[in-house]
Structure 1
Amino acid sequence: MSDAGGDALPPGKSFPIGATILPGGVNFSVYSRSATGIDLLFFDSVDDAVPARTIRLHPQRNRTFSYWHVFVPGVRAGQIYGYRAYGPYEPQQGLRFDPEKVLLDPYGRGVAVPKAYSRKAASLPGDNAAQAMKSVVIDADDYDWEGDEPLRRPFNQTIIYEMHVRGFTRHPSSGVTPARRGTYAGLIEKIPYLQQLGVTAVELLPIFQFDPQDAPAGLVNYWGYSPVSFFAPHAHYSVSGDPLGAINEFRDMVKALHRAGIEVILDVVYNHTAENDEAGPTFCFRGLENETYYILEKDRARYANYSGVGNTLNANNAMVRRLILDSLHYWVEKMHVDGFRFDLASILSRDENGVPLASPPILWDIETDPVLAGVKLIAEAWDAAGLYQVGSFLGDHWKEWNGKFRDDVRSFVKSDPGMVEVVAARFFASPDLYGSDNLGPEQSINFVTCHDGFTLNDLVSYNEKHNEANGENNRDGMNDNRSWNCGVEGPTDDPAVEQLRQRQIKNFFAITLLSLGVPMLLMGDEVRRTQLGNNNAYCQDNEISWFDWSLCQRHADLLEFVRKLIRFRKELNIFHDGHGLSLIELLHYARIEWHGVQPYQPDKSYDSRSLALTIRGPTEALYVAANFYWEPLTFTLPPPPRRSVTNWRRVLDTSLPSPEDFCSLPQAPLLETNVYCVQPRTIVLLAVELEAPNRRGAAGAPPSEDK
């Protein structure tokens, strides 16, 4: 069926962009500056090869400036639709119109995937209607939030757990209802585990609808860094498998997590799309306005590739800026998410020629946007083309994944020389990176592992990556892992090696959770999840990537250690009382003193592998000793502060077996001497409670006290 378009239907309006449900029907609006014609296609089924209705939009009646629009009476939520765009195919001019391809709506709130979906069909000549993903009309207001609101927890009270929606519950051992494994609903069933662990936020790997076929032949895109939509939740993560189910199941998950006191942070990909390079498929942006949405090389036929996956979104173009902001607003206002982690965020600083801007419009738009004022913004402050901005990403609102924390802590724990002084800075939220602009300690998101790279178990079990399963002859993935296998490559039955690996894992957790800044943990590290040495498991939707829940019993001692450590961090006032202080002010407030094996004599030499420190909050004092030498070292302890209730108590010693490795402060053993023998590759934490001070300093200052 074909309509005369502007002659038969109300012309509609250019705003809002996308498919908007109004009284009596739906207004459709799509941006294309260079198109000569647009068809709006309606399908009865996502699998249909022929549209049930085609509405041709007239340039005179259905176009306002660069927006094509029409109002269609009688259309409701659930209607499947797409576009065809007509115009020149002139790659050398940056134009790639192909009316044989069914195109997604860039503002579509839902995406339907046909059984015969084919990435290849979207890349080759010919009509791909039966094999194309299609948009779905969504009523974003048709949901009962039951009073839910984003939690707005301060960063200095946040502990992040990076996880994959599907991988968290897909394994048969998850105990989740079989039909819900690997879904938003399945994650809800495991919320009690997250509560018991003690994390306060989940950071979900991409849940925007992505192309699962953007992977080597025979494999699938598991991570999801291959978006086709910036508004639609991934339908495959819903029990129903359809777009309408996905949007409500996602919101059910958010609401349930909020009720449990857990925030939801989305890992968002605004730096590239699944359309990839000049040989890639045409899904949406390429077929509507290629030179607007992408950064092109000088010859205009090729795509700039600062993302490492074929193309780069032209983020500082006015239309793309609007798209990104509208997407962020949607996820905050309609989906109630609490924050965003921006993949390869430094790309967003590049102009249409790929040159980094000193004051990038899109980053300042996000920084100053009132809708996003209470939202967590986290930047992965680098890109795949060498732009590295850790410590220099703009603004006060943005926080940063601290890649230097990851690298330096890994080197220190594997006993590399020359690391003592630099890791001391990492322990205190990296003042060398963030101490000069009155920024707080929460500027640094501290992590040792994330989805990209080794798991914590593999970091202490492999010297080399083992990515053969990815089908790229082990060429993919990072080569600089700063890992150490503790003497044996891969799994082993040697009890001495296993004991050392367990100790090293506890060391990594101790440093991450006792450091100032915002800690981030990787899904399953707390029970030694392994990827068998694969440090780039983006295409492994199988047991290599899934959380094996039998590990919770096998490594119950480590799980309990991490739970106790998280609980201890939450109870420490030093991590909370400095809210509003800059990092430099907080370090002064905390009264830090540095030591070596002798009090007040830190050894910062190149060959040193040990350090110690004391830090005082208003109600407790801590002494931390780290020995990453391969022999025991005896540390002479400084005297506890004068207001101490008792002598030092041993809270943590990573060389000890469970449950002696961690004790709560009231139950911790009391030391009877002023020395402590720290075993090789071990971290020790001593603590003491302090009496209330008798006098106070000026407002906002710590109480005065003699040493």
Structure 2
Amino acid sequence: MVRIESYEKQPPLLKEVTVTLHYHRYDHDYEGWNLWVWLEGETGHMVEFSEEDSYGKTAVFALQSTEEIKRVGFIIRKSTEENDWAGKRFDDRFITSFDPSGHAEVWLMQGMERIYENLNDVTVFPGIISAKIDKWDEISVLTNLSFDWEHDNLHVALHGAEIKKVRVEKDNAGSDLANRLVIKTKNRLSLTKQYQVNLSHFGYCDVTFGDIMRTKKFDQTFKYDGFLGSQYSPEQTSFCFWAPSARQAEIKLFKNGEVFLFKMNHGECGTWHIDLAGDWEGAHYLYRVRIGKEWRETQDPYAKAVSVNGTRSAVVDLGKTNPASWKPVTRTLESPVDAVIYELHIRDATIHEDSGVFNKGKYLGLAEQGTVTAHGFSTGLDYLAELGVTHVQLLPFYDYWTVDETKLDQPQYNWGYDPKHFNAPEGSYSTDPTHHALRIKELKTLIQAIHDRGMSVIMDVVYNHVYDVARSPFHQLVPGYYFRYTRNGKLSNGTGVGNDTASERAMMRRFIVDSLVYWATEYQIDGFRFDLMGIHDVETMRAARSALDNIDPAIMMLGEGWDLQTALPDHLKANQYQADQMKGVAHFNDALRDHLKGNTFSKQDNGFINGRIGMRYHLLQGVSAGMKVPYDRKTFISPEQVVNYAEAHDNHTLWDKLCFTTPNANMSDHKRMHRLATSIILLSQGVPFLHAGQEFMRTKYGVENSYRSPDEINKLDWHRREEFNQTVNFIKGLIRLRKAHPAFRMRTKDDIVNQMHFHATDERLIAYDLTPAEGRYERYTVIHNAHGGPVKYHLDSAGPWHILADGIHADSEPLGVLRSDVVEVSRHSTYVLALPFNSMDSRE
């Protein structure tokens, strides 16, 4: 054990920064080299190297922004007269450390991706940067200095294997210089044997794993099923992590103002572990690994608790984090089609000035009871319970990157789709982010409050990517393993944010499943919504379903089954086209969404509710969950696999979409179109999904992607809820109707095929019968009228018909009785009529 001194500095709030960037090229050829620099969300520009010193070339530049600057992006590129981007050195890199005045000074070296913040750390002597097994008979060697293979009289030695030949990869065509060579071996290399490369003048380097990590043999050799993470008891705390590439490992612990360093033991399958005697509760820790010649320091990917801003992992006694109200959950969901999902952002729910909540924007704020507006209208969870939803789907509440937990008195906002620590709660929703155990207790308090109101919790999980690969614990501990790469060695980018996790690899798959099980057991989460689920592979989703079934089959799984262009064979992707291979996993129904209101990515495109012809057939597919009228290429095998929705947190709200597509319509027509769309969602077969505030026609004032917009755009407007109270009551009634009448939530494809019957109509009208095998009614007739005027619809019986919905009102019990074979359906509205088994029933 080594005891070392520790201190921490909080980063300043900066809106203007100055960067001094030094660049050294070993070939001394700086012709055409320059910088491309940018701030997040802003356009980049070129910066020339304008100064020179003994180190090399220097560029000094300043950047300003109206928002806080947290990092500066840059690329070193080669420009010619013909092409500004004739070449570049590495992909996006970021400068993140600034002094209080906003100045950063960094040093870069040719051929090295690392950003040095201290000149004394820079090595200018010849050396091997890395030696990696890329193929079963090839080791690639990277040096810091370029060399002339033909004239420098270099000698290569490989300890542990016999060299067949050496291939040199030159810097560029026509150049005699190189900084990379490939050693071809006579025999197949072993994954468990240690090798060492020696290159004259450059020294030696231990051989570690390169592209070979992305093979099945690597997974078979190093797949590990034992304990990972930290495990606390008052007598000792155990730590274990997986890093087959590492040659040495240490753990650094911070407690009571002191820092302790312990060497860790090498275990089976590439693991490192240590048992530390004594009570380490509350200690923070980091892992340190040596891979090749480089030491790396990072957090525990399995961390259950973290320090403020997630800079360190933390040891926690989870038994002390249960609130006094905590009790075992009882899940009663018989089928996903019985659910009514309500998607909600924790901060949005209570931040409004008249939410009646004390702890606005916090876990505890949403958990508060009896919250009302100044006019006495319920808010928060009380409101959701009154609305009748069964599942509250919370946008990400694991620890994420882009809200600074030390500056919560300043305006900040994010949805949270920028993962940092997957197994620890976000601190900005806590009343004290510096207390790592408190955020856990407060989140559990919220979960229990939802359960106490008879509702369930769905967690929005984002395992498909990380915010910053270079700083991710995954990449720090096992570089090159946890992410997908294209054939040219670049990070796959099907997510559109720069990286895709490789769920098909054994330890990434294990991490996802372990994480889900942890949240389902420790936090009693009732369901999981997978962001960009199509990035994952089918087998991982099946493994997750099996693991959750072992806990409780009532735990829901749903996700975005989009067909994304990630580096994975199409038949392995967990998207809609492979839905038949993922029983118990539901997919968001983008087809119904887009044909209902128009393409979600176009402001002008219309759909069924707002005037477009040719949508009827697609609506028949949608309302039957693709069971009665199958989708052409989707492979849904049961209605529980289909999540029907009209809007979600991203893209325009339905109200804003209607304002864009029908600008000449009045507010009354917009309300009617909106109610028509929402009623179609709630009455369709499958799983209904509402975006928070949809029931009172939420607007984001035309902002399409509000992931970092201010509260004024994102907050739930509880005054608007009061203004649109009639529509809120209509949605309450539709939810009651759906819950009370099983015909609107049939369990199987056969049920829908046999009991759902469509009528011939024109393009702006949908009409169908539901004929349940049992129940109170012989038949239900549902009519969705998208005409701009009333329609007289001819029924096949004079009733008496019980009216359950009339476009403005809805309920599980009759609103009135129709004694006629003709019903006039008002414009842009939904009518539901029910024919009792006892036709003599004349109840008014």
Superposition TM-score, scaled by structure 2 size: 0.64
Residue number in structure 1 paired with 2:127: none
Q: After superposition, what is the alpha-carbon deviation per residue over 1:646-679, rounded to whole angstroms, capped at 9, x for unaligned? A: 512433232xxxxxx2154655233344323333
- 2:459 maps to 1:295: no
Could you tell me how far apart the structure 1 residues matched to 2:280 and 2:541 are? 36
Could you tell me how far apart the structure 2 residues matched to 1:236 and 1:219 are? 12
Q: How does 1:156-235 map to 2 (within 5 A)?
A: 156-177=337-358, 180-189=359-368, 190-212=380-402, 222-235=414-427
Q: What one-letter code is carried by the residue in structure 2 that aligns with 1:53?
A: F
Q: 2:306 aligns with which of 95, 111, 114?
A: 111
CA drift at 1:340: 0.7
> Quick one: higher RCO (CA 8 Å, sep 6+), 1 or 2?
1
Greater alpha carbon shift after TM alignment, 662-671 vs 237-246: 662-671
Residue number in structure 2 paired with 1:472: none
Residue aligned with 2:647, SS = coil
- 2:659 maps to 1:461: yes
**Kept in 2: contact 1:526–1:562 (CA 8 A):** yes
Task: Sort the Cα spacing of 1:371 and 1:692 in 2 relative to 1 into closer, same or farther, 3 A.
Answer: farther
Could you tell me how far apart the structure 1 residues matched to 2:269 and 2:636 are? 45
Residue number in structure 2 paired with 1:256: 449
Q: What one-letter code is carried by the residue in structure 2 that aligns with 1:55?
A: F
Residue number in structure 2 paired with 1:614: 769
**Kept in 1: contact 2:234–2:279 (CA 8 A):** no
**Kept in 1: contact 2:647–2:653 (CA 8 A):** yes
Q: 1:236 aligns with which of 400, 419, 428?
A: 428
Q: How does 1:154-553 map to 2 (within 5 A)?
A: 154=334, 155-177=336-358, 180-189=359-368, 190-212=380-402, 222-241=414-433, 242-276=435-469, 281-300=470-489, 302-349=490-537, 360-369=538-547, 370-372=549-551, 374=553, 375-382=555-562, 384-385=564-565, 389-390=575-576, 392-393=578-579, 394-410=581-597, 411-431=607-627, 432-433=630-631, 439-462=637-660, 484-487=661-664, 497-553=666-722
**Kept in 1: contact 2:285–2:313 (CA 8 A):** yes
Q: How does 1:677-688 map to 2 (within 5 A)?
A: 677-688=824-835
Cα root mean square deviation, aligned:
2.8
Residue number in structure 2 paired with 1:26: 237
Q: 1:81 aligns with which of 285, 288, 301?
A: 285
Task: Sort the Cα spacing of 1:14 and 1:573 in 2 relative to 1 into closer, same or farther, 3 A.
Answer: closer
Residue number in structure 1 paired with 2:726: 557
Residue number in structure 1 paired with 2:169: none
Q: After superposition, what is the alpha-carbon deviation per residue over 1:223-268, rounded to whole angstroms, capped at 9, x for unaligned? A: 1111111211112112222321111111122222112111111111
More strand by share: 2
CA drift at 1:383: 5.1
Could you tell me how far apart the structure 2 residues matched to 1:332 and 1:551 are? 35
Larger Rg: 2
Q: 2:744 aligns with which of 575, 581, 599?
A: 575
**Kept in 2: contact 1:150–1:263 (CA 8 A):** no
Q: After superposition, what is the alpha-carbon deviation per residue over 1:345-365, rounded to whole angstroms, capped at 9, x for unaligned? A: 11112xxxxxxxxxx432232
Q: What one-letter code is carried by the residue in structure 1 that aligns with 2:764?
A: R
Task: Sort the Cα spacing of 1:436 and 1:527 in 2 relative to 1 into closer, same or farther, 3 A.
Answer: closer
Could you tell me how far apart the structure 2 residues matched to 1:150 and 1:287 are? 40
Greater alpha carbon shift after TM alignment, 17-26 vs 431-440: 431-440
Q: After superposition, what is the alpha-carbon deviation per residue over 1:159-203, rounded to whole angstroms, capped at 9, x for unaligned? A: 0001111211122221101xx211111111222111100000011
Residue aligned with 1:174, SS = coil
Residue aligned with 1:630, SS = coil
Could you tell me how far apart the structure 2 residues matched to 1:610 and 1:15 are? 58
- 2:149 maps to 1:149: no
Could you tell me how far apart the structure 2 residues matched to 1:637 and 1:546 are? 44
Residue aligned with 1:567, SS = helix
Could you tell me how far apart the structure 2 residues matched to 1:294 and 1:448 are? 33
Residue aligned with 1:543, SS = helix
Could you tell me how far apart the structure 2 residues matched to 1:653 and 1:692 are? 21
CA drift at 1:220: 5.4
Could you tell me how far apart the structure 1 residues matched to 2:563 and 2:613 are? 29
Q: After superposition, what is the alpha-carbon deviation per residue over 1:531-560, rounded to whole angstroms, capped at 9, x for unaligned? A: 111121111242211112111211111111
Q: What one-letter code is carried by the residue in structure 2 that aligns with 1:506?
A: R
Could you tell me how far apart the structure 2 residues matched to 1:263 and 1:435 are? 33
Q: After superposition, what is the alpha-carbon deviation per residue over 1:129-165, rounded to whole angstroms, capped at 9, x for unaligned? A: xxx7111112233336754224141213210001111
CA drift at 1:83: 2.1
Q: What one-letter code is carried by the residue in structure 2 that aligns with 1:105?
A: D
Q: What one-letter code is carried by the residue in structure 1 that aligns with 2:693?
A: G
CA drift at 1:523: 0.5
Q: Which runs of no fewer than 5 residues in structure 2 stay unpaired?
A: 5-223, 369-379, 405-409, 598-606
**Kept in 2: contact 1:412–1:628 (CA 8 A):** yes
- 2:793 maps to 1:635: yes
Residue aligned with 1:83, SS = strand
Q: 2:821 aligns with which of 674, 688, 705?
A: 674
Q: After superposition, what is the alpha-carbon deviation per residue over 1:448-475, rounded to whole angstroms, capped at 9, x for unaligned? A: 111111122212222xxxxxxxxxxxxx
Task: Sort the Cα spacing of 1:236 and 1:150 in 2 relative to 1 into closer, same or farther, 3 A.
Answer: farther
Superposition TM-score, scaled by structure 1 size: 0.76
Could you tell me how far apart the structure 2 residues matched to 1:635 and 1:692 are? 20
Matched pairs, number: 578
**Kept in 2: contact 1:275–1:282 (CA 8 A):** yes
Residue aligned with 2:263, SS = strand
Could you tell me how far apart the structure 2 residues matched to 1:209 and 1:264 are? 18
**Kept in 2: contact 1:184–1:238 (CA 8 A):** yes
Could you tell me how far apart the structure 2 residues matched to 1:692 and 1:435 are? 43
Residue aligned with 1:111, SS = coil
Could you tell me how far apart the structure 2 residues matched to 1:676 and 1:343 are? 43
Task: Sort the Cα spacing of 1:55 and 1:341 in 2 relative to 1 into closer, same or farther, 3 A.
Answer: same
Task: Sort the Cα spacing of 1:383 and 1:547 in 2 relative to 1 into closer, same or farther, 3 A.
Answer: farther
Task: Sort the Cα spacing of 1:275 and 1:435 in 2 relative to 1 into closer, same or farther, 3 A.
Answer: closer
Could you tell me how far apart the structure 2 residues matched to 1:208 and 1:67 are? 25
Could you tell me how far apart the structure 1 residues matched to 2:319 and 2:673 are? 49
Could you tell me how far apart the structure 2 residues matched to 1:32 and 1:679 are? 66
CA drift at 1:305: 1.0
Could you tell me how far apart the structure 2 residues matched to 1:593 and 1:383 are? 31
Identity of aligned residues (%): 27
Q: After superposition, what is the alpha-carbon deviation per residue over 1:212-231, rounded to whole angstroms, capped at 9, x for unaligned? A: 159xxx99561111111121
CA drift at 1:66: 1.1
CA drift at 1:440: 3.0
CA drift at 1:64: 3.9
**Kept in 2: contact 1:32–1:68 (CA 8 A):** yes
Q: What one-letter code is carried by the residue in structure 2 that aligns with 1:454?
A: H
Could you tell me how far apart the structure 2 residues matched to 1:499 and 1:262 are? 33
Q: What one-letter code is carried by the residue in structure 2 that aligns with 1:611?
A: I
Q: What one-letter code is carried by the residue in structure 1 that aligns with 2:644?
A: N
Q: What one-letter code is carried by the residue in structure 2 that aligns with 1:521?
A: L
Could you tell me how far apart the structure 2 residues matched to 1:165 and 1:671 are? 44
**Kept in 2: contact 1:653–1:684 (CA 8 A):** yes
CA drift at 1:107: 0.6
Task: Sort the Cα spacing of 1:338 and 1:150 in 2 relative to 1 into closer, same or farther, 3 A.
Answer: farther
**Kept in 2: contact 1:14–1:69 (CA 8 A):** no
Residue aligned with 2:792, SS = strand
